[in-house]
Amino acid sequence: MQVQHQLQSNNGKFFIEEDGKEVAYMTYSSAGETKIIIDHTVVHPGNEGKGLGKKLVNAAVEYARAKHIKILPLCPFAKAVFDKTPAFSDVLFS
C-alpha cells in the first residue's frame, strides 16, 4: 500500500487506498512557507494494527525533508509517533 499525497491551496492530505477505497488518511495545513501543521489522523475501522498511521507520518516527514520545512504535530497520534522516533527530530518544529 502506497501513501498518496493531495494538496489543495493551504491544506494537504496524505492517504492510503486499498482496492480503490481509502483506508487511512492524515490531514495538515500549511503555516506560511516553512511549516505544516498535522491536525488529524484517521485509520478506518478494520485497518488498525497495520502500521498505516505510522506510514502516513513517515510520508509527511519525507515531504518535509524534501521541501525543507518543519512539522508541528498537533494531532495526538502524530505527536506520539514523533515522540517515539528521534530520527524525525530534524523536521520537528520546536
Count CB atoms within 10 A of the CB of residue 83.
Answer: 12
Q: At the top level of CATH, which class does the domain 3-91 belong to?
A: alpha beta
Give the domain ranges of the chain.
Answer: 3-91
pLDDT in tens, 32-59: 999 999 999 999 999 999 999 999 999 9
Q: Which residues contact 36 (CB under 8 A, 6 or more apart)?
A: 12, 28, 29, 30, 60, 63, 64, 69, 70, 71, 72
Please tell me the pTM assigned to this model: 0.96
Q: Would you say 32 and 68 are in contact if contact means Cβ atoms under 8 Å apart?
A: no
